[in-house]
Amino acid sequence: MGEALHRRSFLAACCLSITTALAPRCARAETNARWPDERQAGPFLIHADFSLEEYAGMVRELGALQDDLARYLQTGPAREYVHLYLFRKKSTYNNYLKQYFPTAPSRRALFIKGRGPGMVFAYKNKELDVDLRHEATHALLHSSLPMVPLWLDEGLAEYFEAPPQSRAHDNPHLKSIRWSLRFNSPPSIDTLESFRDLSEMGRTEYRNAWAWVHFMLHGPSAGRDELLRYLADIEAHAVPGSLSRRLHQRIPRLEKQFTAHFASWRK
């Protein structure tokens, strides 16, 4: 598998596919150095240059993220540890990335997956927990599946970045998609599926990817069933085909069902 880098900007999560340009200059330094606070939470090995005492709740919740994914998606456990590197200051974070990943763009949080274990980088800010859940979702998906289609990767990360109690009913995307559906047709899942590069995805596309994930998880049961079958095929290294085609085959009048789902979904 090629390396993948997922980065989160101030306005919307965004990612970039890369080849070898982002290979760490010194991977040893990444894993062997001692950090002021180091903890383990599930498959995550957390290294922070500040005390994580005040983040104990967030750390606990991260540890539960794998169980959340397994419960919703029936994906297997991570096959490897994921390293989370947390910085107190944005400038330290930027300098660190510049040193080890000189070509990585400087954004609020990053997921980098090369041939070795996945790595997430982030710095202290008021949405650190959201950033970490988003990037950690990418990390878990990529540690248990041989590949994840770009749009689905982002749709799932957008879904699981919300705190557990807010995911189904209280994501900011919910209001936006419902408003959009008052005037517009449902967003095309075929278009989402055609994206090959994250530069093709802006805030609206992230919302649309989230909305199709929400529909599959909380709409007609055939939607979730098909998503699970699709992910199981990927996990088994079978050729999964197109998820949109599979959904069209399973759910008659798919777009109408999508609109009906959000019309009847209440906060």
* Interaction between residue 41 and Zn ion (CB under 5 A): no
Q: Which amino acid, one-letter code, is at 27?
A: A
Closer residue to Zn ion in complex, CB, 209/231: 209
**H-helix segments, the chain:** 27-32, 56-73, 90-100, 128-144, 150-160, 172-183, 189-194, 203-218, 221-235, 243-250, 254-264
- Least Å distance, CB 100 to Zn ion, is 20
Q: Which residues pair with 7 in a beta bridge?
A: 14, 110
Closer residue to Zn ion in complex, CB, 38/200: 200
* Interaction between residue 13 and Zn ion (CB under 5 A): yes
Counting every residue written for the chain, the total comes to 267
- Least Å distance, CB 146 to Zn ion, is 18
Applying the rule CB under 5 A, the residues between 149 and 188 that interact with Zn ion are: 157
Token digits of residue 121: 């980088």
CA atoms within 13 A on the CB side of 229: 13
* Interaction between residue 136 and Zn ion (CB under 5 A): no
Residue among 65, 81, 72, 227 at smallest CA distance from 143? 81
* Interaction between residue 6 and Zn ion (CB under 5 A): yes
Closer residue to Zn ion in complex, CB, 65/254: 65
Closer residue to Zn ion in complex, CB, 132/251: 132
- Segment lying near Zn ion (by CB under 5 A), choices 9-17, 62-70, 180-188, 236-244: 9-17
Closer residue to Zn ion in complex, CB, 10/183: 10
Applying the rule CB under 5 A, the residues between 59 and 78 that interact with Zn ion are: none
Size of the site for Zn ion (CB under 5 A): 4
Distance CA 46, CA 86 (A): 8
Helix axes 56-73, 221-235, angle to 10 degrees: 100
Q: Which amino acid, one-letter code, is at 241?
A: G
Closer residue to Zn ion in complex, CB, 15/59: 15
* Interaction between residue 48 and Zn ion (CB under 5 A): no
Interacting residue ranges for Zn ion, rule: CB under 5 A: 6, 13, 15, 157
